[in-house]
Amino acid sequence: RYDSGYVQLKVAIDSNYIGEPLVIRCEHRNPGVGDNYTTDMAINDTLVHEIDVLHWLINDDYKSVQVAFPKKTKRAAAHLQDPQLITLETNSGIIITAEVFVNCKYGYDIQCQVVGETGIANLPEPSSVVLRSEAKKSTEILLDWKYRFIDFYDTELQDWINSTLKGEVNGPTAWDGYVAAVTSDACLEAKKSG
């Protein structure tokens, strides 16, 4: 919610630049995780960020979830199903597909595309120098979440401090936390039931 890219995406949606959202595609990829990372953590520790930010982004509650396990990467530990595909449907009918792939090896990559009735809005990429060399055009892909989001965690904390000093309450609410927790639990149940 405090990441400048997601703020820009929300402005595009709220300003009706792309019409009503119809479909959202998300990818949450990590270069790798430790052996202590479990299949459930892909939901509770990774997807939960998308669950929360998308609920805020489109201001719509979730109605149903499905979880699917595609072919497992050989780079995942024996006890970890990786990647995972999650489909969420909102009350208004928006379909969200989210891929969690925590052993992709190539980098830390967060993507979000909102398909609307009259256009498409993409989450901006982190700023990077565009290199042209050896017959290739390339940009850097980050390797750690801290390089992408640490400044925005500081922004969130500062907003909380400033609001508290003014006697105000801003930012995510207990309800937002509840929605994220219930939706995560539903995803964990869907892993068993479909």
Mean pLDDT by 10 residues, the chain (194 residues): 94 96 98 96 96 97 96 96 97 98 96 98 92 93 89 92 92 93 96 84
Kindly report, residue by residue over 75-121, the tens digit of the pLDDT: 999 999 999 999 999 999 999 999 999 999 999 999 999 999 999 99
pLDDT at position 169 is 87
pTM for the complete prediction?
A: 0.91
pLDDT of res. 97: 98
The residues, any chain, with a CB within 8 Å of residue 146's CB and separated by 6 or more, are: none
Q: What is the pLDDT of residue 192?
A: 87
Residue that is written with structure tokens 């520790």 in the block = 45
Q: What is the amino acid identity at position 104? A: C
Radius of gyration of the chain (CA): 18
Cα 190 to Cα 86: distance, rounded to the nearest angstrom = 9
> What per-residue confidence (pLDDT) applies to 170?
87
